[in-house]
Homo-oligomer: A and B are copies of this chain.
Amino acid sequence: MQEEGLILRKEVAKLAGVSEATVSRVMNGARPVREATRRKVLEAAERLGYVPSALAQQFARKRSGNIGVIVPYVPKVRLFSTYYFSEILSGIGEAAQQRGYDMLLMFRSPYEARDYERLYRTRKVDACVMLGSQDTPGELEALARLAEADHPFVLVNQRFDGAPFGTVEADHEQGGYEATRHLLGRGCRRIALLNGPLVYSNSADRLTGYRRALAEAGLPADPGLCYAGNYSRTSGAAAAPALAEAIAQGRVDGVFAANDRMAIGLLQGLRERGLLPGADVALIGYDDSEAARLTEPQLSSVAVPFHALGVRAAQRLLGRTADGSPADDASPVLVEKLPVQLVARASSLTYTPSV
């Protein structure tokens, strides 16, 4: 029983016997409208199958109703296809949908200049969530320009110390601290750190937590125990030869890998060399991705509330939902930290130091 073509506000107004302005008020729930009129209009709209043009609404309101999500993208290595981003995206989408916003997904090419500002000036997005941002001079400048132009955005899991950018992150220093404490608790005394690039603040945070735990335990922070990866499984495997030797020689008895992918790469590399995490060394990863449950032995890890990070990021940008408490959406702390949780599994639990 649908009419052909597009139904305009004008036709609804005619059928309902009111003016277009009244139709507009009813559709938007604007204040002064008599209940009887309201019903008349709604019925007419229903009968005709009228749906306001989102395009015209956006134009008139000067708001797109879109929240942009910037995702890092490297053509060959599809970084995007990771647990990490998927979970955050779900969270953002959930929060955005509740507020009537749509999610515009955009890939950030590392090659071309990042013209974030253009997104706002063309009005394609009203606000942005930045994922996988790196602490580089170029990025800092681009973000500073955004902030200066008063374009709302929030960084997830990336902090720019000294720059007043809104951030929602997990408490990665605490995560690094607890992971290291856990290994210490298992009896480890020579704990290696397989970290990611320090352009990510979360890498630096984990390092800080790691050092703090060692210091508290009265252990030296040997720079020789820090290995550099890039968060890929391959880079974890690449660290295996050196670490295998260190373990065999008793120079390392525990390893904290800064994410699960590297931990798993390392696990596989060690096994190829006859060393089994959980027996010959204690190993703990980070992120508590699905993969942590797939390995043999299962991988200890630090759970990061990715979904919640996405929800919070969107909430901060869009304000809380109508029925939510309106308390802290104004301007909470600039940098918000969500707690992480250690998840102990066999890769560290079954290890007992030889000494």
CB A34 to nearest CB in B, in angstroms, measures: 27
Contacting pair A56 B54 (CB below 8 A): no
Which residues of chain B have C-beta atoms less than 8 A from A103's C-beta? 104-106
- Return chain B residues, CB-CB under 8 Å to A307: 78
Chain A 62-81 interface mask (CB, 8 Å, partner B; 1/0): 10101001000101001011
A90's partner among B69, B80, B93 (CB-CB below 8 A) is: B80
In residues 49-69 of chain A, which contact B (Cβ within 8 Å)?
A: 51-56, 58-59, 62, 64, 66, 69
Q: Is A94 an interface residue (CB 8 A)?
A: yes
Chain B residue nearest to A69 (CB atoms) is: B105
Counting chain B CB atoms within 10 Å of each CB, which of A87, A102, A295, A307 scores highest? A102
Taking the complex as formed, is A86 at the interface, i.e. its CB lies under 8 A from any CB of chain B? yes
Most buried by B among A89, A94, A104: A89
A94 CB contacts on chain B under 8 angstroms: 75, 107
Question: Which residues does chain B contribute within 8 Å of A54, judged by CB atoms?
Answer: 64, 122-124
Copies in the complex: 2
A81 pairs with B90, CB closer than 8 A: yes
The answer to whether the Cβ of A331 comes within 8 Å of any Cβ in the partner chain is no
**How far is the CB of A108 from the nearest CB of chain B, in Å?**
11
On whether the beta carbons of B122 and A52 are closer than 8 Å, the reply is: yes
Contact indicator A90/B118 (Cβ below 8 Å): no
Q: How many angstroms between the C-alpha atoms of A55 and B87 in the bound complex?
A: 30
Q: Are B87's CB and A86's CB within 8 A? A: no
Interfacial chain B residues near A28, Cβ < 8 Å: none
Ranked nearest first, the 6 interchain pairs of A and B with the lowest CB-CB distance are A81-B86, A54-B122, A59-B59, A55-B123, A296-B296, A103-B105
Chain A residues with CB under 8 Å of chain B are 6, 51-56, 58-59, 62, 64, 66, 69, 73, 75, 78, 80-83, 85-87, 89-90, 93-94, 97, 102-107, 118, 121-124, 233, 264, 268, 271, 290-291, 293-296, 307
Q: Please, could you name 29 A-B residue pairs with CB atoms under 8 Å apart, sorted by A?
A: A51-B118, A51-B122, A52-B122, A53-B123, A54-B122, A54-B124, A55-B55, A55-B62, A55-B64, A58-B58, A59-B59, A66-B104, A78-B86, A78-B87, A78-B90, A78-B307, A80-B86, A80-B89, A80-B90, A93-B105, A93-B106, A94-B107, A102-B104, A102-B106, A102-B124, A103-B104, A105-B105, A264-B294, A268-B294
